[in-house]
Amino acid sequence: MTAIIKYNAGNIQSVLFALERLGAEAVWTDDPEVLRRADRVIFPGVGEASSAMQYLRERGLDEVIRSLQQPVLGICLGLQLFCRHSEEQDTDCLGIFDLAVRRFVSPAANADHPLKVPHMGWNTIHDLHGPLFKGLAEGEFMYFVHSFYAESSPARTATTDYGGSFSAGLQRDNFYALQFHPEKSGEAGQRILRNFLTI
């Protein structure tokens, strides 16, 4: 059984539907015992870092997440909250990855190619390694929606370029994270979720 962590973040239904299409049994929960007993855990999210961390701390879910031993997958905001600190509302996060989360900075309006923020839409992923990307080719397109990014790191498992290189995927021990939304990324995204379900 796969547990999806329930907290004040959006985009839960699309993750549930993606897992259903793969035939996976999934439950949406904030019950610590259910999370600890699950075969694997998904930490999705579309939202804001400081209010999400406040919700997790008030319910003790921050310590629960850090203690999990099974495969855990953070998606979008989930990846950012796995990091040490976010520039979004100057937020201390879970610290699973010793990384800072930075805000995309758009150049002045008169720049030849101003960077649109948020980074929204399809972009390619590169330098792929690790079990999530088994069977995927370099340059696969994934769907992104975010205004903040994790700086590049030796823990990265995928890279994307948008005004510079950033970590599109991370892994440390049993913790995996993706900045893009595999549940919205077509067949390639489904392949990533299928790979996670077999770890």
Instruction: Exactly one of 20, 93, 183, 187 is catalytic; name it.
Output: 183
Q: Is there a catalytic annotation at residue 181?
A: yes
Instruction: Exactly one of 25, 48, 181, 187 is catalytic; name it.
Output: 181
DSSP 34: H
What is the sign, positive or negative, of the torsion defined by CA atoms of 111, 113, 118, 119? negative
**Edge-to-edge strands, sheet with 91-92:** 91-92, 83-86, 97-103, 148-150
Q: Is there a catalytic annotation at residue 113?
A: no
Instruction: Exactly one of 76, 83, 88, 146 is catalytic; name it.
Output: 76
Q: Is there a catalytic annotation at residue 119?
A: no
For strands 141-146 and 119-124, give the pairing.
Answer: antiparallel
Distance CA 97, CA 112 (A): 35
Active site residues: 76, 181, 183
